[in-house]
Structure 1
């Protein structure tokens, strides 16, 4: 019981970090051969919510928990952990083909950033479609019969309850980054770190809860606005109640403004509504550009289906898609990933998160890693534990190496062991005590 409490507490505050649960096929209720087949990530909290919702709505279903390294659906899709290959692997290894008579597959809509449903259908023979953004609307989605969500169920929202939860996460994770600097400063300013703890959490929650009403644009501007308001209140209270001196008051006022500005800068990365782009958050200028090429658009409407922000709309006169709400675009890349005619152009790289938190984490991960010479090929063996034996070695689930030249060749050793050869040079790697020593001539 204590273990479950600690797990629940971590899932409340530590959502920045992956929390994997075992991937595979799960029965929810009493599914039969005609029951729907759903796919989700293997983030513990997401799986819990999906199962709870299905049971609450009395939906008997087969649930495929894909190996997304413990990340939630949107983060996993944007980070390259919830991809077409990920879904192919869970289909091939779960045995779901033998459990149902149909071939309809329901994917979470936010996985569209990394999953191409045309490629998925071609590689598996299944007929995939994207369900609603929120699992709570699944019953309505299934009840329509045509497996097509209402447009209002296609858009992400940020209600008060979610803002409260994300505000606590913002405070907790900001504390992880700021605790060491605050401890160092406490050498000269005694007690700064523990006095700042409640202040940090209050400002984090206020930045998130009041985001729709604070003046300015999301990011630095809203955080700075809140900082000025809170610091003004602090000056009044410090003089009237605490009798604080002018210099100490000035120092704490500046600290309040700094903390609030920083938290406002990081807040959009904890919300589903704004693109977490550093320059946009600092300058307040929309840099995202996306447009539809009319000559290439075939009017399939898939971009309107996968977009979680209602950026696109079908033009009734031309029967083609058009951009109607660019300011809401979050640069998730779902439209680009799934457009069948490459009719969408943008100035961003799909699936790349540049939020402040991820920027710091990625920079920390790269420290101490060797810089490879581009003239020397770096050849790695595949990871057989992640190989799904799907037969298409464009794997993004890290079963195959991260990169290799066009002249590289992937071959199979046995049933599911994959290795790489490069430019006819021998490659020797040992995986699971199996020696792989091949060249292109003998592969």
Structure 2
């Protein structure tokens, strides 16, 4: 139950950092020939990785590097999981004293931050393992050869999309909650529902929308809502103010979805978003004049 509770909290608030203890951990009964695995100190990852290693009976050393509780992919992209930090942890925990080799199994998604060439200059051989640790057993039994195409493939199924949508919905609720209370106090619950509609749709169905930029996908998701509004509000100033609110949520959440996707990330998206939000604000104020 403790692990389940931690999983729920860390899924809902994935945008926060959840650090765990760093160090070198003996998994099973490792020998000097046992492999050395490297990961970050994101609690969710470490808990599940340790459980997997125990369940599979894999005898190894696990080096947990301090990334302030950030997951592997984000930490590598942010520059807080670099080669230098791996080297410093190898030295700090005297890993070389535990094994008779200098091979490291690195997370595939850390490739943006960890450079094998730099590792080799310091006497260590880094080998990128599979994207998911569910393939680690096969990878190790295969002699640490290059991962197969399946092992290197990043999966993003609907369960992962849903979890990401829940996390994004929680984050956007905090960000958009105050503006919703200020501008739509009597309809705050509808505003929160709209936040979750956009957050979940931007994960679950955005790939079906035939445009590239994520902020535009958010705007397309707003179209059925704007049409629905016409059934409840006359096409007057009240409708315009409500429509601007819906479009503002669609634009912001669509743009913010870049943090969960490789699509549409550019400075131009930021300029487009600011321009659109400024336009909505001008129209909103204009309805009172």
Name the TM-score, length of structure 2 as normaliser.
0.84
Residue 266 (structure 2) aligns with: 277
Residue 387 (structure 1) aligns with: none
Shift of residue 112 of structure 1? 1.8
Secondary structure of residue in 1 paired with 2:15: coil
Given the alignment, which residue of 154, 161, 164 partners 1:163? 161
Structure richer in helix, relative to its length: 2
Residue 249 (structure 2) aligns with: 259
Q: Which runs of 5+ in 2 are unaligned?
A: 274-289
The answer as to whether partners of 1:42 and 1:69 remain within 8 angstroms in 2 is: yes
Question: Within 1, Cα distance between the matches of 2:264 and 2:27?
Answer: 35
The correspondence of residues 24-423 of structure 1 with structure 2, limited to 5 A, is 24-123=23-122, 125-185=123-183, 189-232=184-227, 234-235=228-229, 239=231, 244-246=232-234, 247=236, 248=238, 251-271=241-261, 273-274=262-263, 276-280=265-269
Residues 1:230 and 1:142: Cα distance change in structure 2 (over 3 Å): farther
Name the TM-score, length of structure 1 as normaliser.
0.56
Residues 1:278 and 1:207: Cα distance change in structure 2 (over 3 Å): same
Question: Within 2, Cα distance between the matches of 1:259 and 1:10?
Answer: 25
Residues 1:278 and 1:163: Cα distance change in structure 2 (over 3 Å): farther
Secondary structure of residue in 2 paired with 1:191: helix
The answer as to whether partners of 1:207 and 1:260 remain within 8 angstroms in 2 is: no
Question: Within 2, Cα distance between the matches of 1:47 and 1:91?
Answer: 18
Secondary structure of residue in 2 paired with 1:62: strand
Question: Within 2, Cα distance between the matches of 1:13 and 1:276?
Answer: 24
Q: Give the total of aligned pairs.
A: 271
Question: Within 2, Cα distance between the matches of 1:61 and 1:41?
Answer: 16
Question: Within 2, Cα distance between the matches of 1:230 and 1:195?
Answer: 12
Question: Within 2, Cα distance between the matches of 1:68 and 1:104?
Answer: 21
Shift of residue 257 of structure 1? 3.2
Shift of residue 197 of structure 1? 1.3
Task: Give CA-to-partner distance per residue, 1:384-432, whole Å, 9 cap, x none.
Answer: xxxxxxxxxxxxxxxxxxxxxxxxxxxxxxxxxxxxxxxxxxxxxxxxx
Question: Within 1, Cα distance between the matches of 2:190 and 2:246?
Answer: 12
Question: Within 2, Cα distance between the matches of 1:5 and 1:153?
Answer: 27
Task: Give CA-to-partner distance per residue, 1:95-143, whole Å, 9 cap, x none.
Answer: 32222222211111222212121211222x2221111222222223223
Question: Within 2, Cα distance between the matches of 1:162 and 1:15?
Answer: 12
